[in-house]
Structure 1
Amino acid sequence: MKNHRLMKKIFAGSLALVSALTIGSSAFASATKIADVSQYQGSINWSKASKVLKLAIIRVKHGNSGDSDYTIDSKRNTNATGAKKYGVPFGQYDYVEFNSTADAVKDARQFYALSSTNAKFYALDNEHRVSSAKGKEQTYVNAWLSTMRSLTNKPVIYYSYQSFVSSHSISTSKFDGTWIANYSAKPNVSTDLWQYTSSGSVSGISGNADLSKVVDSKTVSSWYNYTSKATYMTSIKSGTKVYATRAINRYKTANLTGKVASVKYNTALTAKSIVKSSNGTARILLTNGTYITANKAYVQTR
């Protein structure tokens, strides 16, 4: 009798586990939507949105400092934090307004500095052509991309409208994929992700949202399943200028303890040598006797 009751409990427990797994699988299976979001979506309920979002692409900024309509997205950090907390993989995008090669380089550096370290990939939103860029759009696009390549080993994606790509003959072959908008029909230019509407609905988001469909599942999944591995500088000549590509800190020790000061992105520091922390991680010893990270995702030489 005791054995019979025990078997009933085991059986009931098994059913409960199967039920829980089924519910969990169903919830995961329902996460099929891909949306790009910005401050214009207001305060997103990421707990609700995570139930339906397979992927989110979060705006970081619009334009570059000096542009009359330059804006750093006020919800970029909140959205990145919310997506991370509720398990929604996300990339981030940069709405650009290039007017020179130097502007494209500056734009990429600022975008990267403002982006989240948890972003799986980065996207260039290239849909606004300034008059001075006539005939040079590809040059500026290439400059932005090469700068991003120097800053990160994560995938870098090209976004625009079908009409823009066609009219300006933009080559996207050097990117890790394309994300193209066209609301009337599937794009007739090469695309891996198709933004098909600007009036979609997503649970947890008030109002409309841009939604996209996967065209090449292998390519798109490689963006958000990408795992970035930290790489470190292994040697450096004394006197070399090192630039912070994100906001970092200077410390008293090679273990990065005893914070001395904050360092803004694009600040130039003078290196003395590469040293190791107590666990063998490379650090940069500066000529002023303080230490910073040697992680290439945070610092670089030029």
Structure 2
Amino acid sequence: MSSLRKKGRTIILSILTVILSVSIFGAVKASAATTVIPDISEWQGKLTASKVSNLKSQVSFIINRRQYGANYQDKYATNNTNLYVQYGIPFGEYDYATFTSAASARNEANVFYQNSNKNAKFYVLDYEENDVTSGTSNAAVKAWYDQMRSLTGKKLIFYSYQSFATAHANTARKNFDAQWIANYSSRPTIQTDLWQYTNKKYVPALKESVDASTILNSSKPITWWIGGAQSADTAHPTYFTDAVTSVMTTKKLYLYNSTSFKKANRVVKVQPGTTVNVTAVHKRASGSYYFETADGRYLTANKNYVQ
């Protein structure tokens, strides 16, 4: 074969190699872009319709901060989650925990749920600082979980970084439907369904780098997070069935002067967070339970309303 023919063949092969490389690289970039799972808060600013429209092709789903403890709502959570709904981007919401006790955790869960966007696919406890001063941190985390479970049937996710999770919530975190663990230096060595592997993932639609995660547990793929049997935001009624001495209300409710809970039988309006002394629990033929109070009135034993 002449040197000219060899040279021509080399040039053609080089061109084909470049074209193939560009095609493969482009495909990898496109695939990677659609599997980004970012978490977003007010630090990314008030998102615009244009940004969210562009985000749709770049993310699998978003995890959005709703609040920083019970007393601070993320500035742009409502705006941003409304846009996710408008543009069809699946999302979950998280509560950055600052509770100080089990009672405080229940209250924080109530506030979180009441303010959340009910289109969220799941709810997250972001527990990465220990502010608990009464009782144990495990008891407080479990109280948050129990309260949220009484309010919703959706998936509940525990988030923390690995060392903190094992030190402060090593038993309580195992009650959650999944664990989302942050560890930027290496793959987590504890049970991890979703791994937050970086805080420097560039997202073109946002024109900045954010925290980002990837799925580690193949039995909980993307479809598990954004759909599935637990997607309904309705808690199944569960009842106290054994006698207790008191309960705390978690929602506004009424005491009744009759075991028939009709509007005409309401006698006292009770605000959330009120302790009610009870003397007995009774079961109706329908299968529901109700309490008899110390002053001879009646209230529901439904754990969606009392704890």
**Matched residue of 1:98: which SS?**
coil
Match in the other structure for 2:35: 32
Match in the other structure for 1:48: 54
Q: 1:75 to 1:287 in 2, by over 3 A?
A: farther
> Aligned pairs, how many?
228
Contact 1:272 1:287 in 2 (8 A): no
Q: 1:102 to 1:56 in 2, by over 3 A?
A: same
Contact 1:126 1:159 in 2 (8 A): yes
Residue identity matched to 1:47 = S
In 2, Cα distance between the equivalents of 1:189 and 1:167? 12
In 2, Cα distance between the equivalents of 1:181 and 1:232? 32
TM-score by length of structure 2 reads 0.65
Once the two structures are superposed, residues 6-48 of structure 1 have per-residue CA deviations (whole angstroms, 9 ceiling, x without a partner) of: xxxxxxxxxxxxxxxxxxxx98995211011011111331001
Contact 1:193 1:220 in 2 (8 A): no
In 1, Cα distance between the equivalents of 2:178 and 2:256? 37
RMSD: 3.3
**Matched residue of 1:201: which SS?**
strand
**Matched residue of 2:121: which SS?**
coil
Match in the other structure for 2:287: none
In 2, Cα distance between the equivalents of 1:184 and 1:101? 32
Please state if 1:286 is matched with 2:271.
Answer: no
- The CA deviation at 1:78 is 1.3
**Matched residue of 1:59: which SS?**
strand
Residue identity matched to 1:160 = S
Match in the other structure for 1:138: 138
- The CA deviation at 1:87 is 1.6
**Matched residue of 1:80: which SS?**
helix
Please state if 1:215 is matched with 2:216.
Answer: yes
Contact 2:156 2:177 in 1 (8 A): yes
Match of 1:268 among 241, 249, 253: 253
In 2, Cα distance between the equivalents of 1:205 and 1:191? 27
Please state if 1:228 is matched with 2:213.
Answer: no
Contact 1:109 1:147 in 2 (8 A): yes
Match in the other structure for 1:85: 86
Once the two structures are superposed, residues 47-102 of structure 1 have per-residue CA deviations (whole angstroms, 9 ceiling, x without a partner) of: 0111101010011100123xxxxx20011111111111222111110000121111
Segments of 5+ residues of structure 1 without an aligned counterpart are 1-25, 66-70, 234-242, 246-265, 274-283, 290-298
Please state if 1:201 is matched with 2:202.
Answer: yes
Segments of 5+ residues of structure 2 without an aligned counterpart are 1-28, 238-248, 267-302
- The CA deviation at 1:129 is 0.6
Contact 2:132 2:140 in 1 (8 A): no
In 1, Cα distance between the equivalents of 2:211 and 2:58? 14
Match in the other structure for 1:105: 106
Q: 1:113 to 1:169 in 2, by over 3 A?
A: closer
Match in the other structure for 1:279: none
Q: Identity over the aligned pairs, expressed in percent? A: 36
**Matched residue of 2:189: which SS?**
coil
- Higher radius of gyration, 1 or 2: 2
